[in-house]
Amino acid sequence: MNLVKANTETITKASEIIKVGGLVAFPTETVYGLGADALNPIAVAKIFEVKKRPAFNPLIIHIANKDWLNEFTIYKDERIKILVDKFWPGPLTLVLEKKKIIPDIVTSGNPTVAVRMPNHKVALELIEKSETPIAAPSANKFGHLSPTTAKHVHKYLGDKVDLILDGGKCEVGVESTIIHYHENKFYILRFGGITKEEIESVIGEVKLKQNDSKNPNSPGQLPFHYSPNTPLYFFDEKFLVPNKKIGAIFFQNKKTEFEFTIEKYLSLSGDLKEAASNLFLYLHELEKENLDYILIEPVEEKGLGKAIMDRLRKATFKHKK
């Protein structure tokens, strides 16, 4: 089996795989990533092939040192440095003008590249030992649930990955927030582990940018994504049908006396951070229960609630009725 516990020895082995153009799945604080040498176009092409990811959907490159940002991007605005100093390492991705060293396959031909520095010791050690930025989308099949454990990765990708580093459950549980810097303004392209309010507290106003599903310049801009194989719907009384195997995920409290086949609670204390961390984990668990469908309660769209609802709208998109 290609799933191994992350330690000095296995991380070194993983870095050697990266150096020769192989694929390694590794943990970050957000979700598990499927990584390849970002400067090797042939290696990056393997990511798209294994994930069955559309070629028009760009990748994020992961770096191990803040100074690396200057090697791969072009920017002058001091607010970029303020964001980096405040939130890196952490779940914030910056979309900036790229330097020529970044292959077009990484950016899907866009003149910008998405960059972040993950806040996970396994990820950082892997990048450092690989001596290259690592391009890494989530380590799953395109459009499916994001993986927050190494077992999730193996379920989706199996032996198509050269090595899977098991670093435990991801702490944040939802992908990074993506910010695009364009013409002296900042735009949120995807809500994630850093809230809009946190960002605005250090650089001022950040605008919301309409997603461009035809020509995205970063991940997370398509209307469908993060979907379980089991149909998923927002909680609605009309779905409470007897003799159906129904799973339910509530935020904090149960909303009905209906007897579900299985019930999960994202956070009994009402903590949005805990809810975000459990979201994909619980969806993976319910996906294994042979249910007719899953109902999930919306959460209030404040703070991390915006990121949770972004994922849920995309996860329920293909099952809309």
CB 317 within 8 A of CB 224: yes
Cα–Cα distance for residue pair 173/29, rounded to 1 Å: 7
**108 in a labelled binding site:** no
**116 in a labelled binding site:** yes
- The alpha carbon dihedral of 232, 236, 242, 247 has a sign of positive
**190 in a labelled binding site:** yes
Q: Name the one residue in this structure whose structure tokens are 């949770």.
A: 308
**184 in a labelled binding site:** no
CB 319 within 8 A of CB 223: no
Cα–Cα distance for residue pair 269/51, rounded to 1 Å: 36
CB 193 within 8 A of CB 304: yes
**112 in a labelled binding site:** yes
Summary count for the chain: helices (H), strands (E)? 10, 16
Q: For strands 3-5 and 232-234, give the pairing.
A: unpaired
**28 in a labelled binding site:** no
Does an H or E element contain 37, and which? strand 33-37
**176 in a labelled binding site:** yes
**313 in a labelled binding site:** no
Closest CA to 179 of 83, 77, 301: 83
Q: How many CB atoms lie within 10 A of CB 76?
A: 6
Buried (b) or exposed (e) across 19-51, using 16+ Cβ within 10 A? eebbbbbbbbbbbbbbbbbbbbeebbebbbebb
DSSP string, 166-233: E--S-SS-SPPEEEEEETTEEEEEE--SS-HHHHHHHH---EE----SSS-SSSS-SS--SB-SS-EE
**53 in a labelled binding site:** yes
Can you say which residues are annotated as belonging to the binding site for L-threonine? 30, 62, 116, 136, 176
Give the residue ranges of the annotated binding site.
Answer: 30, 53, 57, 62, 112, 116, 136, 138, 146, 176, 190, 226
Binding residues for ATP: 53, 57, 112, 138, 146, 190, 226
